[in-house]
């Protein structure tokens, strides 16, 4: 289908903002600016008084954890995981994973997210089903906790997920391996995952250096800091998306550069779990790809990427006492373009010819957008995601004028609540 978005204020790849027409043929952007004379639009969207950005990319989440939103708050990470989260996750059934991810899809589309990197399990094929139905873009990994007796089986499940779904749904689904963390995966298990990933040509999504305790225990147990330890297993050899990366020293940063590791920074989760402040301005200065994630909704507690854009812009200013740290445009790029890079989505994340048409329109009506000197600043410091009006992925409209086109929202909220009631009964 050919769609023309007319007269829209757009964020261009060089950071400039200008009023353009965006022509979309099937799944790709074919022009930004003047519309080609021979372009036949089947659908025209009036972009007047709308701000177009590449869709948000949530670079680290656990979608089905929407079911555990507000179930356990105000705890330390290890207490939270061991006492509350892991026991209830052990009760999750296949349908629960599905309805949790469906609830996540509603929330993501409504707040302008077009792609997400998910680490969860079991039954990640149910999340793939949600990606297919919702029209979102998903980078899925089967979370691998290697201490239980069924760790081999999980690794096989991740490999099967790769074989069955990598490149599925017109390429909207890609698959990575998902070792949870170095404290839940012994070195032998990390080596096995690395070998399997190498064999299939798959990348890896892992939690790294989230808390001070993780770093201290790693040094105690293995005589090395986390990045050196994990590098020694070969896990970083095939391309890596590393969530958190809060507690880093120079040696860690050198390894992140050496292995071209992309960082998914989760300011909301890091603040809520009091994990610490990642050295984001330094990482950006070093040329490292730093994207943004929400983490799961049990440590955030929502999937709203505009919150993360606003938090990253504010957190690093107060942390460094430098009001120039992480300016508005950088924050927005972290949430969009750098997110796409971090997920290895090479033709996503920029409103430019040839890229996939993953486009979000914000309505610029209302007090939070008035007066409008600088739409990028308004986005980073003033707007709410409730002004997300229209969402397109792969040229397909998932939400138009605030109405979801691919999902039955009422049914999804009902089913998710039903699952939550059963889980906590
Ligand atoms: N339960 C699955 C594996 C899930 S991997 C993803 C795991 O990450 C957990 N998780 C969520 N947020 C965080 C975080 O911030 N740090 C560490 N783990 C987290 C989450 O609760 C979930 O258990 C299985 O073994 O079959
Ligand atoms: Zn996480």
Q: Residue 269: CB within 6 Å of ligand 1?
A: yes
The ligand 1 atom nearest the CA atom of 122: 26
**Quick count: other Cβ atoms within 10 Å of Cβ 391?**
29
| Centroid of ligand 1 to alpha carbon of 180 (angstroms) | 6
The predicted-structure confidence for 185-244, as pLDDT tens digits, reads as follows 999 999 999 999 999 999 999 999 999 999 999 999 999 999 999 999 999 999 999 999
Overall size of the chain counted in residues:
425
The ligand 1 atom nearest the CA atom of 86: 23
Q: Residue 210: CB within 6 Å of ligand 1?
A: yes
Q: Residue 62: CB within 6 Å of ligand 1?
A: yes
Question: What ipTM does the predicted assembly reach?
Answer: 0.97
Contact 390, 399 (CB under 8 A): yes
The predicted-structure confidence for 128-171, as pLDDT tens digits, reads as follows 999 999 999 999 999 999 987 899 999 999 999 999 999 999 99
114, 186, 248 from 303: Cα distances, Å: 12, 31, 26
Closest residue by CA, ligand 1 atom 24: 121
β-pairing, 204-208 with 240-244? parallel
Global pTM value? 0.98
- What lies within 8 Å, CB to CB, of 164 at 6+ separation is 125
Computed over its alpha carbons, how large is the radius of gyration of the chain?
21
Q: Where are the alpha helices (DSSP H) in 135-186?
A: 151-165
The Cα–Cα gap between 66 and 73 comes to 13
Phi and psi at 410, nearest 5°, equal -60, -45
Q: Residue 279: CB within 6 Å of ligand 1?
A: no
Ligand 1 pocket check: which of 61, 65, 85, 144 to mutate, most ligand atoms within 8 Å of Cβ? 85
The Cα–Cα gap between 334 and 376 comes to 13
Q: Residue 119: CB within 6 Å of ligand 1?
A: yes
The ligand 1 atom nearest the CA atom of 92: 1
The predicted-structure confidence for 329-375, as pLDDT tens digits, reads as follows 999 999 999 999 999 999 999 999 999 999 999 999 999 999 999 99
36, 173, 283 from 177: Cα distances, Å: 42, 14, 24
Closest residue by CA, ligand 1 atom 15: 295
Q: Where are the alpha helices (DSSP H) in 234-324?
A: 250-258, 267-272, 280-285, 305-320
Q: Residue 180: CB within 6 Å of ligand 1?
A: yes
């Amino acid at each position: 289908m050919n769609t023309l978005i007319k007269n829209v204020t757009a964020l261009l790849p060089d950071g400039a903002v200008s009023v353009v027409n965006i022509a979309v043929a099937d799944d790709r952007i074919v022009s930004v600016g003047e519309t080609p004379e021979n372009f036949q639009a089947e659908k025209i969207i009036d972009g007047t008084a709308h701000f177009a950005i590449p869709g948000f990319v949530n670079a680290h989440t656990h979608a089905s954890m929407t079911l555990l939103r507000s179930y356990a708050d105000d705890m330390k990470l290890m207490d939270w995981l061991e006492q509350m989260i892991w026991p209830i996750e052990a009760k999750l059934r296949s349908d629960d994973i599905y309805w949790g991810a469906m609830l996540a899809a509603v929330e993501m589309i409504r707040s302008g997210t077009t792609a997400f990197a998910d680490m969860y399990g079991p039954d990640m094929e149910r999340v793939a089903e949600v990606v297919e139905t919702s029209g979102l873009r998903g980078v899925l990994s089967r979370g691998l906790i290697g201490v239980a007796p069924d760790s081999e089986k999980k690794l096989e499940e991740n490999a099967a997920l790769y074989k069955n779904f990598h490149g599925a749904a017109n390429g909207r689904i890609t698959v990575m391996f998902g070792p949870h963390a170095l404290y839940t995966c012994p070195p032998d298990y990390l080596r096995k995952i690395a070998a399997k990933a190498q064999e299939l040509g798959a990348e890896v999504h892992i939690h790294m250096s989230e808390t001070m305790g993780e770093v201290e225990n790693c040094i105690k147990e293995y005589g090395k800091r986390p990045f050196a330890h994990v590098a020694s297993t070969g896990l970083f050899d095939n391309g890596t998306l590393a969530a958190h990366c809060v507690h880093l020293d120079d040696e860690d940063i050198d390894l992140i550069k050496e292995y071209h590791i992309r960082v998914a920074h989760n300011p909301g989760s890091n603040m809520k779990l009091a994990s610490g402040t990642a050295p984001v301005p330094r990482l950006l200065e070093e040329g490292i790809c730093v994207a943004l994630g929400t983490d799961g909704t049990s440590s955030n507690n929502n999937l709203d990427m505009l919150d993360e854009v606003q938090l990253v812009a504010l957190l690093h200013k107060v942390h460094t006492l430098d009001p120039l740290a992480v300016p508005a445009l950088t924050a927005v790029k972290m949430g969009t373009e750098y997110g796409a890079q971090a997920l290895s989505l090479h033709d996503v994340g920029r409103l430019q010819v040839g890229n996939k048409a993953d486009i979000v329109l914000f309505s610029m009506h209302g007090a939070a957008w008035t007066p409008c000197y600088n739409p990028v600043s308004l986005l980073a410091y003033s707007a709410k995601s409730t002004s997300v009006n229209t969402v397109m992925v792969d040229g397909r409209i998932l939400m138009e004028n605030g109405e979801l086109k691919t999902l039955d929202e009422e049914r999804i909220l009902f089913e998710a609540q039903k699952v939550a009631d059963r889980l906590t009964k």
